[in-house]
């Protein structure tokens, strides 16, 4: 006689809608990329666990470039800078980004692996462009202790940008590894609150 399997619970939107809660996500900033505060006169990003936004100045506020999550902002941004300096990240023209236009100076990622000679030949110019981009970033953060919650917020932000038909959504890099809500996790309606307008961050989204 077969043993009975346990019951596996999954969220059902019709049955379990009453379990969905609403909470505020408060974004603080803008902050400076570590080491560039003397150039842009912004406060250095604090070393906390949470979710962060890369943004450029745009119109009456800021425009989304990307998002991420970490348990240490200091350590994560050091990692990001190493990837930039090694040519593995895409580098954008800042003036174009301030207009909401994607203009790549260096493609990064897989392109860099197969075009190392090209990177080395233009390394000085590419790294100068990296410095301009990092100095131009206005960083926003929200403090989140729970790791899964951080990952779900990042997923919601990036997914919203990917699905947007606004021209500025092209600033966000594709093919980023993301981990959204699992079927056994209850969704949360999140309300984004910030003193500044950030194009690319909807007022509400589900995480």
Rounded Cα distance, 58 and 46, in Å: 24
pLDDT at 196 over 60: yes
pLDDT at 2: 67
Pick the closest to residue 49 from 141, 140, 137 (CA basis). 141
Rounded Cα distance, 155 and 166, in Å: 18
pLDDT at 1 over 60: no
- Give the mean pLDDT of 178-192: 94
Q: What is the pLDDT of residues 119-155, one digit of tens each?
A: 999 999 999 999 999 999 999 999 999 999 999 999 9
Alpha carbon distances (Å) from 60 to 132, 142, 171, 193, 196: 21, 21, 17, 16, 9
Q: Is 32 helix (H, G, I), strand (E, B) or coil?
A: strand
Exposed, middle or buried, 22 (CB in 10 Å: 0-12/13-18/19+)? exposed
Token pair 């400076």: residue: 32
Q: What is the pLDDT of residues 3-21, one digit of tens each?
A: 788 889 999 999 999 999 9
Q: What is the pLDDT of residues 16-74, one digit of tens each?
A: 999 999 999 999 999 999 999 999 999 999 999 999 999 999 999 999 999 999 999 99
Q: What is the pLDDT of residues 92-112, one digit of tens each?
A: 999 999 999 999 999 988 887
Rounded Cα distance, 165 and 20, in Å: 28
Beta strand pairing status for 198-199 and 188-193? unpaired
pLDDT at 109: 82
Which of the two residues, 1 and 166, has the higher pLDDT score?
Answer: 166
pLDDT at 186 over 80: yes
Which of 18-32, 73-87, 160-174 is predicted least confidently?
160-174
């Amino acid at each position: 006689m077969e043993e009975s399997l346990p019951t596996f619970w999954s969220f059902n939107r019709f049955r379990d809608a009453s379990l969905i809660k609403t909470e505020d996500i408060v974004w603080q900033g803008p902050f400076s990329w570590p080491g560039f505060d003397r150039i842009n006169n912004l406060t250095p990003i604090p070393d906390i666990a949470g979710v962060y936004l890369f943004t450029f100045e745009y119109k009456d506020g800021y425009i989304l470039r990307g998002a991420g999550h970490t348990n240490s902002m200091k350590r994560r941004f050091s990692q990001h800078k190493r990837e930039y300096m090694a040519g593995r990240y895409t580098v954008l023209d800042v003036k174009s980004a301030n207009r909401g236009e994607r203009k790549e100076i260096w493609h990064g990622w897989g392109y860099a692996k197969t075009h190392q000679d090209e990177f080395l030949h233009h390394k000085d110019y590419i790294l100068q462009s990296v410095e301009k981009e990092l100095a131009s970033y206005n960083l926003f953060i929200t403090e989140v202790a729970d790791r899964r919650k951080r990952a779900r917020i990042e997923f919601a932000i990036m997914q919203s940008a990917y699905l947007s038909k606004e021209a500025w959504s092209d600033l966000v890099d594709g093919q980023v590894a993301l981990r959204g809500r699992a079927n056994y996790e209850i969704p949360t309606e999140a309300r984004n609150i910030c003193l500044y307008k950030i194009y690319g961050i909807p007022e509400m989204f589900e995480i």
